[in-house]
Structure 1
Amino acid sequence: MTAGGLVAVRRGTNLDRVGGFNDAVVLDAIRRTEERLSRVELAEATGLSGQAISNITRRLLDAGLVREAGRQRGNGLGKPRTLLELEPTGQYSVGVHLDPAVVTVVVLDLTGEVVARRRVETPYGDNPDVLISSIAVSVEEAIEEAKAPRDRVVGVGIAAPGPIDVERGVVVDPPNLAAWHLVPLRHELRARTGLPVLLDKDVTAAASAEKWAGGPNGRGSFVFFYLGTGIGAGLVIGDEVIRGSSSNVGEIGHVIVDPDGPVCYCGRRGCVGETSQPRYLVQQAVQAGILAQGIDLDDRHAVDAAFAELCSLASGPGIAREIVVALAERIAKVVEDIANLLDLERVVFGGPHWEQLAPFFGDAVQAALEERFLVRSVHPFEVAGTALGADVGAIGAASLVLDQTFSPNPSVLLPELAVER
């Protein structure tokens, strides 16, 4: 912690050539503080000179990105200091979360608050052109609902199931969207909306959302465990979102948790992704006689309705509860391996199905993970649910746009320092 309750901000540099980086350092410091900061406290937190801070804050005020927010109570020894905060209406970003079962669209203001949302079922059949057109309509409706001036909407972030090709903006072959093969989603959505578009993986976006707006859950080192039509793991280590060499980190679906389990499309048995699918759990329930026969397991919407019924039945004792508790135990085994490998502080669960599954990831899972966490004598391992609800993927996608636009990135600074050397 530093001045004003500030958490882990980057340090700036007083070299004139990196003004853009320093602007982002200051803006990020204002955003991440727990209390409003004065210019003096910004200088202390960022390592920038008083003159640099004065110049930067003047630019940010003129751009409408920050505003003055009253004065700090003085000690009677000098002039009260003017406090600064973000101007919520200064910029907006749109986030789209593409899950095979549902598409969520949100608009965030500059402070990260959701000011509009749309949530629609993914059209049956997976046709990319139909789905992208539907997303574009939802984006326009959400911007209109937010009353966001078009020139202040800085872009659209898309959180999509992997694998993805970030460089080309392409969704490659997501296992639960059968018709999607090398779909140029970024280009197609930009063509339909006229806005800059950023594509990232769904679990990376969710982890970024938790880091951006999840409060204590989003600090330090944690795994965001995504529970939707598929599963995945987003990673934040030392307050940095980890993407991997091709931005496809988090593909954990093929960790084997039941050698005698069902055959996965990869050819092996008992992969956690396959045994966590709602259709597999619904199939188990049908075979056990606790759900009606005749459910079309290839109809995602029918499966989701049956899965919701299964979770409701599982609130009491019986076979339904055994099925869902067994799922929680399989997932806990994977979380255990990730936590021990990377020495994490917590797991944050979220995704479209988290609300239904949360009751089964309580004390028993916490106790099991604590017991199996190898460095528990050094620090505890926590189990938490996302603070952002079912919108976490879409919020993450929008926050990635804000991050790219405003947050300091070391790669911006390194070439400049190389020249100086």
Structure 2
Amino acid sequence: MSLGRGMTESTAFYRERRAPLPPFSAILGTDQAERLAIGLTLISMALYLFCLVAEWIGVSLNLVDATQSLWLTIVALGGEVAFYVLLRSGISRRWPDPTLSLPQMVFAITLLGAAYLINPQVRGELLMLAALVLEFGAFQLPPRRCRDLGWFAVAVFGVAMAIGATVSPDRFDPRIEVFQFALMLAFLPVIAGIAGKLSQMRLDQKQQRRQLRDALKQVQILATRDELTGLPNRRHALELIERETARARRSGAPLCVAILDLDHFKRINDTFGHGVGDEVLRTFGREGRLVLRADNIFARWGGEEFILVMPDSTLIDAQTIVRRLREHMASPECWASCLRARTTFSAGIAEFLVGETLDETFIRADAALYEAKKLGRDLTMTA
């Protein structure tokens, strides 16, 4: 019964803390990439509607054939609705082009080619719209696809011009169509090339941002981690320890600090070389992480010294934790990579006392460590 009540309270808590949905999420979705793709689709849909309104104004003025315009309207609106449904439902996520950018642009250029055959009197405006479609490619397509789309537009309009001049030369004067084709051949590939350059700039900036994030992450790691052992370094360890001591002061919970020192480490370096000595340090750090509790702070303090901070632990608890670490490090399997240089460690433990500074706790732990080394090493002493 109490479990059910706890689950209900937990559910209510998360319901209250749930992040608010982004604006127009019912229409655009919540995924950022999906929202961008759907937003561009809706913008193109608005352009379609504007052009179709102009088309039907032409029909009302008897400038355009109504039947052809009806078919153009059905195909245009049906295609846009289909693209929206595929994007919003998430079906397109499984496809190579989840944003459907290239299919939408191919569809738009093909429609413009069909509109060219229906509306020869606005051929210049249709070519301008084709150029606008090519510029959309800079936001979504890779550079090569932008250039390919430019040549596809040239081919579509070239076919439309050829069909019009052949089937209806009275409406499509061949001389004008040749002139139009020459102009189109001059500027559409150039516009597509510019879109490709913009696309390349977009990709370069994206790559630079990724590299910057990686570099910042690496700098953060270097600033907080010991490069040799991967443990928190002294500076970062002090930040973590100060946080734990502040918590201990507030809550009154026990907190113990242990300074660990590898025995005879100088002799290991002198006998086997610094490379083996480094491997001993790495091994101790790696194996220590494996056996210690998740809430323990285990860091390299400097040289062959390590610091171990044990929140919510009394002196007896801390001795048990250090003993468990000592027993683990006594196993030859731990030292497989440097078996001939396996060593022990000495430890000094001090419990943080309310009213004393952190430095005073360290001094007492260091004094206990000195006592352990003086008594023969491989020992744990408490302050």
TM over 0.5: no
Alignment TM-score, normalising by the size of structure 2: 0.24
Greater percentage in strand: 1
Greater percentage in helix: 2
RCO comparison, higher one (Cα < 8 Å, 6+): 1
Greater gyration radius: 2
